[in-house]
Structures are given as structure tokens and as C-alpha cells.
């Protein structure tokens, strides 16, 4: 009867039915991991409105990111935490009682002991949390200001060791046990040399005082773009807006100089840019490839790897498409085949065939392929290693993106690395 009413509403006047259609459709069926449906899109948009779905757009695919968002919403609303969107979850989402995700406290907010940080947060408070966990031996990575899987796992371990609720969310009790308020001051009295300093308001100050990433704007970004152009890594106009093109140029520079290829211009990257500007002979800008063979098409291994990374990075954000081999959409092996083909290297079509075609290496280097066992036995997913235990790949729930091999999902499914160059 409910579906008949919805259909009648659509027939009677589509221009009046926008919100009602969405509300009626959401909840018609239980949604769970692995499903692809327009109802999943509705679910993702509803979760996004409440601050739980942090991916840049609704995809219609119920992957691990959506499942985690559902779990977080369920936990915040005292529902059974199973990651499955059923009647109770839909009722809480559509009703006024559904709790929104805690917002990041503003500088004028009440005492920062009320701060709540969770996976997906990206600010200096996360950096302070990471440093506090690092000081106590629970976090062994660099301070990134990004609350990802590694930070969440460190919080869980700390909570378990201190008899706190183990949920991976840094709230008042966790901050109290850490001995920090969770505000924007350092978690200890000493200077935190590992954390990224805040950008300087002085436009004439060196960009080395900034951490520049996608979304950053200002004179520091303009200077970064000018510097990368003079070194041959950036060909666009200097806009002062750090968008995907600038991130790609930064990644290409990082690969060429053996830095972590994360597309973020932090102190190490900015210092290396300054160093190369003073001594241009150190620079290895990407080259154009016109060859059609498999023998290090760009002339040297270093340049070849740099170009592979540049090719891969330009596709970040491309949606996932089963069987896809173009910029309209990729699957995992189609993405790799395209990236290597653009450098004149022909590789087989499937992940299993690419596994067989490559030469095994004990530890991956930048440009190597890393393989995983997912939905079937043997190599069924792969990506390109970019350093710092990260890889770029076409994920079914994310499209082309950069992911840590250390997270709980991929680390358990890793099979090995192969070299195709």
C-alpha cells in the first residue's frame, strides 16, 4: 500500500514530491554491505546531513565507508550497532530524535574537554590527540591531523588499557585519561616538532611554516604552484587554490624525490622544494612518453615511476565501474592497465593475470603493484604502491583513492607485491 501511495504521488505531481519521495523510498528495504541501489544513495545523503557520512559524494554503493557511517550513527543513537540499515535505523534517521554527529568545537566553544573526535575528522585537534597517544606509546606514526584507521586503532588500544569504553572515539573520558583537554593547545608543555604548524597569516612568510593540502587557499598555495611550475611539475595557472591538479603535482614531485606520495605539502616536501630550487640539478621532472614498449618507457626507472604516479594521481576521484577501463570509471585491474598503458607498458587485464605477469618482490617500492585476496581465493584486488604503506587503487566503494595498507581490512588480505617495470 505504501509503494502504491508513493507511485500515485509521483504521478500526481513530481514537482511537489521531492522530499516526500526520498522519505518514502528510504526504509522500504533493509540495506547492508555489498548492495548497490538508489536507496543506498538516499541513506548516504541522510547520513551526510547528520554528519556521519563524510565521503565527498553519495555513490549508491553500500561499502565499508557507508557501513562505518551507519555504525557510528547507531552508536550515537543508542541503537544496535551492526552496520545494517534496518527499521530502527531508518526511523531514527527520519525522525527528529536522530542525533547528529558531534561537531568540531569552534575557538569560542565551551571548554575543549567536551571535544569529541572520531574517524573522518581532519584538524589540529586530531594532531594533538595523535601526539598525546604517541607520548604514551600507543601511536607510532607521524602526526597527520587526520583521524583515520590507524588513529582509531590507537584510541581503541588506549581505551582498552585504561578500562574505558572501547569505541575508537576520542571523547571527554579518553582525553581525561590522556591528561589533555582535547583543545588546540599541545597535549604536553613541550614544543611538538612532529605536528604540522598552523599556516602563517603573513603572506610573505616562507611556505615552510604551512601544511598545505587540498582545500588550502592563499598566497602560500600560489607560491607553491609557482615553485612547482619552475621545477617542471606543474603546468597550470597559479590560482592560490589547492585543488586536485596541485595535489597531483605535489605527488609527482614527492615520488621523484623519494618522499611519501600523499599529495600534502608538509615541512619535508616544502623543504625539499626549496632545496631543489637552489640546486635545479637535483630535479627529475616527469617526461612525456611516446614509446610503445615495456622497457622503462620513460628512459629510466626513476622517471618511469614518477610518470606512473603522475598518471595514477590524475584519476583520483574517478568512480568505480565493474569492467571499467576509462576515465568514466575503473575497476581495480582496469585502472592499473590504463595507467601503465599510458606509459607504453602493456599489462594483462585481470588482477590474477597481472599477478602472474609481475616479478615478485619481498617489499614493495613506489610503483610496484600490491595484491589482495578479497571476494575470491587468490589475487582478486590490486593497486599501485605509493610509499609509507599506502597504495592508490580503484576501490568498489570509493572509486580511485589512496588507502593505507595498515588498516584492518587490507592488512588481513594482503598477498604480496609484484614489479612490472
Catalytic residues: 332, 381, 393
Tell me the three cell numbers of residue 404.
593505507
C-alpha to C-alpha distance for 386 and 392, rounded to whole angstroms: 7
Compute CA distances 276 → 244, 254, 367, whole Å: 23, 12, 23
> Residues 221, 241: contact at Cβ < 8 Å?
yes
> Residues 60, 42: contact at Cβ < 8 Å?
no
By CB atoms closer than 10 A (0-12, 13-18, 19+), residue 79 is: middle
The residues, ordered by sequence, that sit 6+ positions from 375 with a Cβ below 8 Å of its Cβ are none
The residues, ordered by sequence, that sit 6+ positions from 105 with a Cβ below 8 Å of its Cβ are 112, 114, 115, 125, 183
Nearest Cα to 120, choosing from 69, 50, 184, 179? 69
Amino acid at each position: 500500500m505504501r509503494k502504491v501511495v508513493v507511485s500515485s504521488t509521483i504521478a500526481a505531481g513530481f514537482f511537489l514530491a521531492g522530499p516526500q519521495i526520498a522519505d518514502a523510498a528510504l526504509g522500504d528495504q533493509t540495506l547492508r554491505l555489498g548492495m548497490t541501489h538508489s536507496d543506498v544513495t538516499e541513506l548516504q545523503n541522510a547520513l551526510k546531513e547528520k554528519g556521519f557520512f563524510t565521503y565527498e559524494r553519495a555513490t549508491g554503493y553500500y561499502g565499508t565507508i557507508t557501513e562505518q557511517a551507519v555504525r557510528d550513527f547507531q552508536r550515537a543513537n543508542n541503537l544496535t550497532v551492526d552496520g545494517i540499515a534496518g527499521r530502527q535505523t531508518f526511523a531514527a534517521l527520519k525522525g527528529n530524535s536522530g542525533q547528529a554527529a558531534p561537531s568540531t568545537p569552534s575557538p569560542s566553544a565551551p571548554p575543549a574537554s567536551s571535544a569529541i573526535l572520531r574517524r573522518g575528522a581532519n584538524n589540529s585537534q586530531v594532531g594533538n590527540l595523535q601526539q598525546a597517544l604517541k607520548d604514551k606509546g600507543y601511536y607510532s606514526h607521524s602526526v597527520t591531523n587526520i583521524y583515520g584507521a590507524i588513529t582509531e586503532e590507537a584510541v581503541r588500544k588506549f581505551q582498552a588499557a585504561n578500562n574505558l569504553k572501547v569505541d575508537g572515539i576520542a571523547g571527554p573520558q579518553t582525553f581525561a585519561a590522556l591528561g589533555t583537554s582535547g583543545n588546540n593547545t599541545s597535549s604536553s608543555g613541550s614544543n611538538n616538532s612532529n605536528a604540522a604548524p598552523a599556516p602563517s597569516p603573513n603572506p610573505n612568510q616562507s611556505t615552510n611554516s604551512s601544511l598545505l593540502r587540498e582545500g588550502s587557499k592563499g598566497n602560500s598555495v600560489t607560491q607553491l604552484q609557482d615553485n612547482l611550475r619552475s621545477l617542471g611539475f606543474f603546468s597550470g595557472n597559479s590560482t592560490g587554490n589547492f585543488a586536485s591538479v596541485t595535489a597531483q603535482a605535489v605527488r609527482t614531485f614527492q615520488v621523484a624525490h623519494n618522499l611519501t606520495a600523499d599529495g600534502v605539502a608538509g615541512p619535508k616536501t616544502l623543504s625539499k622544494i626549496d632545496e631543489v630550487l637552489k640546486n635545479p640539478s637535483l630535479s627529475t621532472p616527469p617526461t612525456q612518453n611516446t614509446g610503445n614498449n615495456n622497457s622503462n618507457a620513460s628512459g629510466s626507472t626513476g622517471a618511469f615511476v614518477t610518470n606512473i604516479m603522475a598518471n595514477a594521481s590524475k584519476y583520483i576521484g574517478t568512480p568505480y565501474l565493474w569492467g571499467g577501463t576509462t576515465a568514466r570509471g575503473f575497476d581495480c585491474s582496469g585502472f592499473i592497465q590504463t595507467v601503465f598503458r599510458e606509459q607504453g607498458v602493456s599489462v594483462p587485464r585481470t588482477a590474477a593475470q597481472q599477478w602472474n605477469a609481475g616479478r615478485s618482490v619481498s617489499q614493495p617500492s613506489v610503483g610496484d603493484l600490491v595484491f589482495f585476496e578479497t571476494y575470491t581465493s587468490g589475487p582478486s584486488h590490486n593497486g599501485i604502491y605509493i610509499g609509507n604503506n599506502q597504495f592508490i587503487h580503484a576501490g568498489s566503494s570509493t572509486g580511485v583513492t589512496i588507502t593505507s595498507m595498515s588498516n584492518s581490512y587490507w592488512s588481513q588480505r594482503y598477498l604480496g607485491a609484484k614489479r612490472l617495470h
